[in-house]
Structure 1
Amino acid sequence: MSLVLDPPIRQEYEYATKPAALRPADAAPPLAQRAWQQAWLRKTAILIVLAVAWELIARWQANDLLLPGFLQTAQAFADGIVSGELPDRVRISLAVLLQGYLAGIAAAFALTALAASTRIGRDLLETLTSMFNPLPAIALLPLALLWFGLGKGSLIFVIVHAVLWPLALGAYAGFQSVPETLRMAGRNYGLSGLRLVVHILVPAALPSILSGLKIGWAFAWRTLIAAELVFGTTGGQGGLGWYIFQNRNELYTDKVFAGLAAVILIGLLVENVVFRPLETLTIRRWGMQR
């Protein structure tokens, strides 16, 4: 009896393989789904829906004095742009706003740096913010008119008040959230006082500072428009708020809505052209915020 040590050789076959079908997860999403993933497209769709609803409500009401339609407002806005009146009013308002906003930023960072480096500065910041932060900036306008008169100084004063306290609170909260290890690392390098604030606390607290800047900008912009609605002329020239107020007195409601649209568009422009790229270049790039 003989033993078979080697297994028999099996005949080889060649099978043609078919390409594997793509799974649903691997397949490219439809064009509509990919387009809907774009944030700008979704926001544009929302704006279109709001504009259509506005036009329908205005036509249903049929009273241009109370509510002009979207198309009528767009025509008034275009006429204001072509005539140069609306850009000139916007330029006047933005010039005053920029001066007050920068002055408020400087005052806020000086106060916050003092609070972050000394105990008496911390007590000073907490006391002042408790007193003045709940106080509306527009409530100080009568005093500003007495102190600075009918001019740019009064507007800048109320804008500084609107910017100073939210920005100081945001920056100080960001400084307080800086880990102690970073502070110790800065002290090990010989940093103290203002140098510690600039080189350690400010970069670490940047998300809170940027949030305070955005809130301060919003407060400053709406405070300026409200102040211009009250007296509005600086050096014989009125800004965007005065444009709205003047057209309301003359019952040009479409121009009033055009002025309000300019206020909204400037807010959207600053948010998407200034602050959003700043976030992308700093805190999102460094992984400090999603």
Structure 2
Amino acid sequence: MSDLTQSWTGSARAADRATIGARVKAVANSPFARRLFVLALLALAWEIAARVQHNPIMLPSFLETAGAFVEGVTVDNLLGATLASLSVLLKGYVLAIGIAIVLVSVAVANSFARDVLTTLTAMFNPLPAIALLPIAMLWFGLGEKSLIFVLVHSVIWPFALAALSGFETVPETLRLVGRNYGLKGPAYVARILIPAALPAILSGLRIGWAFAWRTLIAAELVFGVTARQGGLGWFIFQNRNELYTDKVFAGLAAVILIGLLVDAAVFRAIEAATVRRWGTQR
């Protein structure tokens, strides 16, 4: 009896070890673990390069930057500057997406409107938003409105181009299925066109977010005031003038961290709930 008990206990332990091993392997092979490993490698390479160069004004180490980041959040209002920038960014981003959706909707329904939108996109998409800063300051003055103006320009054209391309590449088979089911107007767009074009729409949202983030930081580096408060770009610019390079890198790290968080928490979550679940994207 004891032999059977020992045998059963040994089998249970082996099964437990196999289960634990499978879970560890699954976690190690997850996208989050792989990205974390890449970030750890980059941090290690950064630390080694900084120690080899041994010039903190030119290249502070990763540990020095991490300390400056903590100090910036707790003492130097890095968090407030980040929130101020994000507030303006979201206003410009949402406004641009709303305008682009209207333009694309009209362009999908009308061939002349499509030609107008493609022409405007070809004209304004290559134009850097930062080049419009002088005009923005003349029209709206120094402040939030100027920033929102350049943000709208940086987002609206790449998103409109991606969304329009997505709608135009919807397979004719899917269009025929929608018509055979009697779908028309908004129902046809919502049930056939949008799901089929969603990968392109999400790509446009991603590109627009990246363009908006870069444009905002560049604009704040030039005139910096965001709703009567210095933004994240201004935080970087001020510390660069005072040769606090570790705090400059801390500001840049804040930009990178926000980009990673938005990509993981927003865009990838939407992908997992929609296009990946539907099998329209790997």
Pair 226,81 (structure 1): closer, same or farther in 2 beyond 3 Å: same
- The one-letter code matched in structure 2 to 1:172 is L
- 2:6 match: none
- 1:215 match: 207
Structure with greater helix share of residues: 2
2:279 is equivalent to residue 287 of structure 1: yes
2:233 is equivalent to residue 241 of structure 1: yes
Report how far residue 214 of structure 1 moved: 0.7
- 2:99 match: 107
RMSD: 2.0
SS in 2 for 1:284: helix
Report how far residue 49 of structure 1 moved: 1.8
SS in 2 for 1:205: helix
Aligned-partner Cα distance in 2 for 1:100–1:88: 19
2:117 is equivalent to residue 125 of structure 1: yes
**2:184 is matched with which residue: 166, 191, 202?**
191
- 1:64 match: 56
- 1:6 match: none
- The one-letter code matched in structure 1 to 2:172 is E
- 1:80 match: 72
**2:85 is matched with which residue: 87, 93, 98?**
93
Indicate conservation of the 8 Å contact 1:117/1:197, yes or no: no
Structure label with greater radius of gyration? 1
Aligned-partner Cα distance in 2 for 1:270–1:242: 22
Give the TM-score of the pair, scaled to structure 1: 0.85
Superposed CA deviations along residues 123-171 of structure 1, whole A, max 9, x for unmatched, are 1111101100111111111111111110111111111111111111111
Report how far residue 42 of structure 1 moved: 2.2
Give the TM-score of the pair, scaled to structure 2: 0.87
Please list every run of at least 4 consecutive aligned residues from structure 1 whose deviation after the TM superposition is greater than 6 angstroms: 27-32
SS in 1 for 2:79: helix
- 2:4 match: none
Report how far residue 40 of structure 1 moved: 2.0
Report how far residue 191 of structure 1 moved: 1.3
- 1:264 match: 256
Aligned residues between the structures: 263
Pair 118,195 (structure 1): closer, same or farther in 2 beyond 3 Å: farther
Aligned-partner Cα distance in 2 for 1:150–1:71: 37
Pair 106,232 (structure 1): closer, same or farther in 2 beyond 3 Å: same
- 2:268 match: 276
Aligned-partner Cα distance in 1 for 2:36–2:194: 36
Indicate conservation of the 8 Å contact 1:113/1:197, yes or no: no
- 2:221 match: 229
2:159 is equivalent to residue 167 of structure 1: yes
Residues 120-129 or 178-187, more deviating: 178-187
Which stretches in structure 1 are left out of the alignment for 5+ residues?
Answer: 1-26
